[in-house]
Amino acid sequence: MWDRFIRACRREPVDCTPLWFMRQAGRYMSEYRSLRERYSLLEICKTPELAVEVTLQPLKAYSVDAAILFADLLLPLEPMGAPFDFQAGEGPVVHSPIRTAADVDRLRLIEPEQDLEYVLKAIRWLRQELDGKTPLIGFAGAPFTLASYLVEGGKSSHYLTTKRLMYSEPKVWNALAAKLAEVVRRFLRAQIEAGAEAVQLFDSWAGALSPEDYVTFVEPHVAHVLQDVMQLGVPVLHFGTGTQSLLELQKRAGGTVIGVDWRTPIEEARRRLGTEVALQGNLDPILLFAPRELLAARVKDLLARAGKQGYIFNLGHGILPQTDPDQVRFLCDWVHEQSA
Amino acid sequence: MWDRFIRACRREPVDCTPLWFMRQAGRYMSEYRSLRERYSLLEICKTPELAVEVTLQPLKAYSVDAAILFADLLLPLEPMGAPFDFQAGEGPVVHSPIRTAADVDRLRLIEPEQDLEYVLKAIRWLRQELDGKTPLIGFAGAPFTLASYLVEGGKSSHYLTTKRLMYSEPKVWNALAAKLAEVVRRFLRAQIEAGAEAVQLFDSWAGALSPEDYVTFVEPHVAHVLQDVMQLGVPVLHFGTGTQSLLELQKRAGGTVIGVDWRTPIEEARRRLGTEVALQGNLDPILLFAPRELLAARVKDLLARAGKQGYIFNLGHGILPQTDPDQVRFLCDWVHEQSA
């Protein structure tokens, strides 16, 4: 059923539970590692031919029900005027962190059709490859998550500089987050117009915030993105980790599907969020390292608790590079078999 | 009121809300940094005279309502047979990680009176210094948190190796966690017998676990520690971060006070945990970097939501090294003033 994923996002009946994985194309696959011997991560992202090839790799290997464009959350930052690169063992490094009103003023509101043309080209190409077989998910990072990289200059454990900016200079923070929100809104719109049949907003690090800070400093910017993008009629997936206390607020900010990580039992998320949204999640990615018997039992139990309506199976966060591809293959087949 | 902290732990009436801070003695204080120029962290921990001096530093500077012994969570690992040190920028490094049944077999069940005598000596000394003025809190790391350092060999972002051990070799995991639990039980008992007037169990990283994994692999070991230590009649504080989905389970495992981080609204914790336990928390440590007006408003609101009975003010995690001591001083006075 080619539209199993889309139907589940819309809470329509499905023959079995659809699934896909965050980072389903990535270092755990030898096909991907071979390509990375020749090209950097950013070269792959910026070369539509390579991005298309990598996006398709997991579709050839596993029975996933959606493709997700191979790209990086940070791609919009470069044309905004905040170049970055990936340093081995360090993750992304933003060369000149954004911390003042003047820094924020200098950031450009990009035009995705020009500034991120390579992404849209890959999407159009993928739609030709996939059309009528597998739906394609586009994505972008949410304002807080993107801002945290911009302000900290890279990944962070405490988000000290980002939160200090929020607290100390709320005008500067709001100008930054509003600019990011507008860029992300345009970018997700452009991806949908180019052919993405669903989009996911990654607010990966929102779980570092108290509910009060989320409401005060983050929710309006997320809502700016999602309330607009939801008008285009495609499923909009709203994802975060460590968001046990934020789920209702995330639902209010927007999204037709809410992502839930393994810390929140799926039936609790269902109870709290009601039946207006679909749910996506929520296996701990480390359960892919468990013996098959335990993995199978946990997945069977999760499927029973999640129910079949309005539910997309996924991990609570991305597949780890050390994951055994055979376990991924088993997991795909098992989810389909057990939910059929 | 010298026993304000103890009374709040027992849900008895207090004149105003007591407070203390995790890492209240530490790098944010110039007095501590001066000492660290001459001594390493472990030298301070292992020299009772220095540990006493550092423990007393915040009591001289601020109106905190409890002293917490200056020590490190990992101290018991060395006499157990798993030596470690602190490497600059890396945090703790365990020289030979514990990953097999044979590794676990080799770990010793320590006798705190011999093996951690320096800690108990510092506690006895502190009780003489503090008696009748400020109560002294002892502490230890919880089995999962300690095991994560032992198994990973240091700090971790995904706890891959630790969780894999749980899933793949539950007998080895349970043997390891049981050994740690017994060591921690003995160590907390010994601290109380040496004079600690309350103890805190730090399950700092338990929030990485799904509720199901917590129940299956962790809760019995925490209960082994806490159900025994609670019999000694002193307040037992049970702390973690990112535990929004675990609070009821942590309460069931034990503790007369449950620690709550900033991700869970304090009134929600109260509603979920009822009135049998006291609560401790839950200001985001980064709010100490906010302008004083915002800090004051947030604290005032928190105090109103927390209520005065059975509540100890604290941060949701340790004070960060970059914190301004003047803000800490203001915070102490403000909490007392606003709750009087």
Q: What is the pLDDT of residues A80-91, one digit of tens each?
A: 999 999 987 778
The domains of chain B are located at: 4-339
Shortest Cα–Cα distance, A56 to chain B (Å): 27
- Spans in chain A with pLDDT lower than 50: none
Could you tell me if A185 and A130 are in contact, meaning their C-beta atoms sit under 8 angstroms apart? no
Mean pLDDT of B76-95: 92
Q: Helices marked H in A70-169 — which ranges?
A: 77-80, 101-106, 112-115, 117-130, 143-152, 160-168
Q: Examine the pLDDT at B159 and tell me if it is beyond 80.
A: yes
Task: Give pLDDT, residue B89.
Answer: 74
Residue B1, pLDDT score: 73
Report the residue of B152, B244, B271, B317 to disrupt the A interface, i.e. the one with the largest count of A CBs within 10 Å. B244
Question: How far apart are the C-alpha atoms of B164 and B99, rounded to whole Å?
Answer: 10
Catalytic residue among A7, A32, A62, A72: A72
Distances (CA, A) of B177 to A77, A264, B102, B191, B315: 45, 24, 14, 21, 28
pLDDT of residue B87: 85
Question: Of B303, B260, B256, nearest to B281 (Cα)?
Answer: B260
The residue written with tokens 């992300």 in the block is A184
pLDDT digits (tens, 9 = 90+) for A128-169: 999 889 999 999 999 999 999 999 999 998 999 999 999 999
CA distance B13 to chain A (A): 29
Distances (CA, A) of B53 to A292, B43, B69, B104: 53, 13, 10, 36
pLDDT at position B71 is 97
Would you say residue B114 has pLDDT above 90? yes
Distance from C-alpha of B285 to C-alpha of B291, rounded to nearest angstrom: 13
Q: Do B264 and A287 touch (CB under 8 A)?
A: no
Distance CA A139, CA A141 (A): 7
Q: If one looks up domain B4-339 in CATH, what number appears?
A: 3.20.20.210
Query: Is the predicted pLDDT of residue B274 greater than 80, yes or no?
Result: yes
Residue B188 has pLDDT above 80, yes or no: yes
Tens of pLDDT, residues A14-50: 999 999 999 999 999 999 999 999 999 999 999 999 9
Q: Is residue B247 very low, low, confident or very high in pLDDT (cuts 50, 70, 90)? A: very high
User: Are A286 and B211 within 8 A, CB to CB?
Assistant: no
Active site annotation includes A72: yes
* 8 Å CB contact of B262 and A298: no
Q: Is the pLDDT of residue B21 over 80?
A: yes
Residue partners of A55: CB distance under 8 A and separation at least 6: A25, A67, A68, A69, A70, A122, A126, A136
Confidence (pLDDT) at B119? 98
Tell me what ipTM this predicted complex has.
0.96
pLDDT of A114 reads 97
pLDDT at B34: 97
For chain B, what is the mean pLDDT? 97
Smallest Cα–Cα separation from A190: which of A133, A250, A256, A140? A140
Q: Which of B37, B183, B153 is nearest to B92 (CA)?
A: B153
A288 Cα to chain B: minimum distance (Å):
9
Q: Which two tokens stand for residue B17?
A: 């809300």
Bridge partners (DSSP) of residue A94 are A84
Q: Which pLDDT band, with edges at 50, 70 and 90, does B131 fall under?
A: confident
Beta strands in B47-170 (DSSP E): 67-68, 84-87, 91-94, 136-141
- Residue of chain B minimizing CA distance to A318: B158
Tell me what pLDDT residue B88 has. 78
Q: Is B268 exposed, middle or buried, given 0-12, 13-18 or 19+ CB atoms closer than 10 A?
A: middle
pLDDT of residue A144: 98
State the pLDDT at residue A252: 98
The answer to whether the beta carbons of residues B235 and B10 sit under 8 Å apart is yes
DSSP secondary structure letter of residue A253:
H
- Annotated catalytic, A252? no
Task: Judge: B286–A322 Cβ closer than 8 Å, yes or no.
Answer: no
Q: A160 and B264 in contact by Cβ < 8 A? A: no
For residues B151-159, average pLDDT: 94
